[in-house]
Amino acid sequence: MFAVDTATWINAGVSIGLALLIATLFDRLFRGRLAREISDKAGITREGATRLRFVRRLIYAIIVLIGIALALSAFDGISNLARGLLASGAIAAAVIGFAARQVLANFVAGIMLAVTQPIRVGDWVTFEGHYGVVEDVRLNYTILKTATHQRIVIPNEKLAGGVLKNDTLVVDVVSLDVSIWIPPEADAEAAIAALEDETGQEVTIAEAVPWGTRLGVGSDPVAPPDRAPREADLRRRCLARLRKEGLLRAGSN
C-alpha cells in the first residue's frame, strides 16, 4: 500500500467535486435550452431530441471521468499500481474486459441507437410483447412507458439486437388490427358480412385452422395513445354483433 497525505486527499476530492459541479451545471443548462426549443416549437425533430439527450449524457459522463482521472493522478502510488497491472497485461485485460463486457456492449449499442435512430423519443413501439412510448434513450438502457404508465427498462444491447416494431417511425398514426375467432362450423361469409356492416371496414379471413377461423378487422388510423382503448371497443362491438347473429355458437351455420 502507499501512504497518502491529507492534502492529496483534499485535492482529489476537490477535483471530483468540481467535475460533478461542472457536469451538473452543463446538464441543467443543456436541458433548459432543449426544453425551451421544444416549448417554443423551434422545429426540433424526434431524431434531434433523441441525439441531444444522448449527447448531453455522454458529455456529463466524460466530464465526470476526467475529474476522476485528475483525482487519481494526485496519488503518487497510482502510477506504480498501474505499472503493476500492465505487467500482467494479458490477465488484467481479460479480467477487466470480461467484467465490463456487458456495460461496454450496452454503451456501444446506445451509440448505435442514437446514430441510426430505429427508435426516437416519443415513438410508439412494440418490443417483446410490450407496447408503449419511448420515454428516454440513455447511455446503457432505454425506458419504455406503457399505456398503463408502467416503465419498461430495456438494455440497449438487447434492443439493438432484437426485433422491434415501430408504429410511428414514418407516420404519427397507427391502424387498428383486431382478430376475432369464430367456431369452425360457423358461416364465415355471414360473419364477414355482419362485421363489415357493423364496422364499415373491410374484414378478411386471416387464418383457418381445425379449431376455428380467425377474422381480421381493421379500422381508420388513430393516434398511438388511443390504440388500446379503440381496439378494445372494436373487439367488443364485433363480438356483440356476432353473438347477436348467433355466429359464435358451434353449429351456427
Q: Which residues pair with 181 in a beta bridge?
A: 214
Residue 251 pLDDT grade (very low, low, confident, very high; cuts 50, 70, 90): very low
How does pLDDT run across 127-170, given as a tens digit for each residue?
888 888 998 888 888 999 988 889 999 998 888 888 888 888 87
Structure confidence at residue 108 (pLDDT): 83
Structure confidence at residue 111 (pLDDT): 82
User: Which uninterrupted H or E stretch holds 79?
Assistant: helix 76-87
Amino acid present at 40: D
Structure confidence at residue 1 (pLDDT): 46
Comparing 45-54, 92-101, 128-137, 188-197, which segment has the lowest mean pLDDT? 92-101
Domain covering 124-166 assigned CATH 2.30.30.60 in the classification: yes
Structure confidence at residue 17 (pLDDT): 81
**Residue 67 Cα distances to 72, 77, 107, 219, angstroms:** 9, 18, 20, 56
Are the CB atoms for 160 and 109 separated by under 8 Å? yes
pLDDT reading at 44 higher than 70: no
47-81 burial code (b ≥16 CB/10 A, e <16): ebbbbbbbebbeebeebbeebeebbeebbeeeeee
Structure confidence at residue 252 (pLDDT): 44
Average pLDDT over residues 80-84: 54
For the stretch 52-55, contacts whose Cβ atoms lie closer than 8 Å and that sit 24 or more positions apart, written own/partner, are 53/121, 53/136, 53/137, 53/138, 54/110, 54/111, 54/114, 54/137, 54/138, 54/139, 55/114
What distance in Å separates the CA atoms of residue 85 and residue 105, rounded to the nearest whole number? 24
Domain ranges within the chain, ordered by starting residue: 6-87, 124-166, 177-244
